[in-house]
Amino acid sequence: MKGVISGLLSICLLASFSIPKAEAAEKAKEKIKLAEQSHSAILMEQDSGSVLFEKNSHEKLPPASMTKIMTMILIMEAIDKGKISWNDKIRVSEYAASMGGSQIFLEPGEEMRVEDMVKGIAIGSANDASVAMAEHIAGSVESFVNRMNDKAKQLDLNDTFFKNPTGLPAAGHYTSAHDMALMGKELLKHEEVTKFTGLYEDYLREETEKKFWLVNTNRLVKFYPGVDGLKTGFTNEAKYCLTATANKNGMRVIAVVMGAPSPKDRNAQVTSMLDYAFTQFSTKKLYARHEIVKEVKVQKAEKAKLPVVTSEHISLLLKKGETAKKVKMEVNVDKDLKLPVKKGQQIGSLKIFNGNKLITESPVLASETVKKASWWKLFKRTAGQMSKSS
């Protein structure tokens, strides 16, 4: 009941918020000139997924080490599901240790904690750590890459196909600026990842003779206030790439640049995109991640009602100086839920409307696991309902 009341109150409160006119972001994209020294780019507000600027955003290009954003998504999901833990020790195979390019110089047979592996990937863009984690989670690199592509399909990344977990050059390995922004959005649901991606420097093997200094390949984490991720990339084919994220005054944005001619150009273009976002837009928070938005009845379940929660933060994007009214919320839950329903299972969607125009749509989840009730429990429930009605 509390969730239902909360949802109704939210609908009433939403009517007083200021949000952009429907065509505001489109008009802004038409007028503004950004990322002129890159092949493609996109600027996205994190919570709503609204695109504030784009340039060739669906062109399929090599992502280089930005690939590791998807690798980190699968690592974070494995941690969330309890399949691995931060303190698990990963044994390094000869194949993982043989990776070239950016690396933390893992040796065959060396054991390193998951937390340190993630540091190596997030801060140092380590190819060897990426492969070691892929092998540990999926059993082989090939199986892990299949999972990467399955996740891409799940996220509707239509411009993306992976051949490896590192981003090292491979024919047929590609993505787009648009898809990179959506991958960044997905990774940021695991908020703890920014404690790694936002570090400028750290150490591995600190208590040994092989102490290793990590310096973030994303220099903006030091030089642009609010930047705490996510991933750089460079190969001769891809040129200089960056998927960056910054959080200021409660608004988080994602900026992607692909194919910049130099690190200086890449950083300057992302900086201009972030400046544009924070000077022209703001957000109004509506719901936190995993906040109850509704309670629904589930037929023949152990519990008569199931609280439904958000899958991510939900915000309204505000274009400064513009207002709108008649903002409303709609929660749609699947009518025929099959038992058992598992905690975290997607069971419907939350929609935010400005008048008749859909502003935001986001999955909603089951807040807990619900199993099928025993016949005796169903009998007692039915008997109780009959006695109340008589």
Selected catalytic residue, list 10, 38, 40, 125? 125
What are the residue ranges of helices labelled H in the chain? 2-14, 24-31, 68-80, 94-97, 114-122, 127-138, 141-154, 177-187, 194-197, 220-223, 263-280, 375-389
How far out from the chain centre does Cα 267 lie?
22
Contact 157, 147 (CB under 8 A): no
Distance CA 155, CA 320 (A): 31
| Radius of gyration (C-alpha) of the chain in whole angstroms | 23
Which residue do the tokens 């920014």 mark? 194
Q: Which two tokens stand for residue 85?
A: 């833990």
Q: Is 165 helix (H, G, I), strand (E, B) or coil?
A: coil
Q: Is 226 helix (H, G, I), strand (E, B) or coil?
A: coil
Distance CA 306, CA 200 (A): 43
Distance CA 124, CA 103 (A): 7
Annotated catalytic residue 68: yes
Contact 87, 114 (CB under 8 A): yes
Q: Cα–Cα–Cα angle for 23, 312, 245, nearest 5°?
A: 70
Give the 3-state secondary structure percentages of the chain, helix then strand then coil, rounded to 5. Answer: 35, 30, 35
Annotated catalytic residue 85: no
Q: From residue 31, how far is each of 25, 49, 54, 265 by CA, in Å? A: 10, 20, 11, 21
Q: Which two tokens stand for residue 255?
A: 């900026």
Selected catalytic residue, list 68, 119, 185, 319? 68
Contacts by residues 137-144 (CB-CB < 8 Å, ≥ 24 positions apart): 137/74, 137/75, 137/78, 137/83, 137/84, 141/95, 141/165, 144/71, 144/74
Residue 170: count other Cβ atoms within 10 Å of its Cβ: 14
Annotated catalytic residue 65: yes
Residue 276: count other Cβ atoms within 10 Å of its Cβ: 18
Q: Would you please indicate which residues are annotated as catalytic (active-site) residues? A: 65, 68, 125
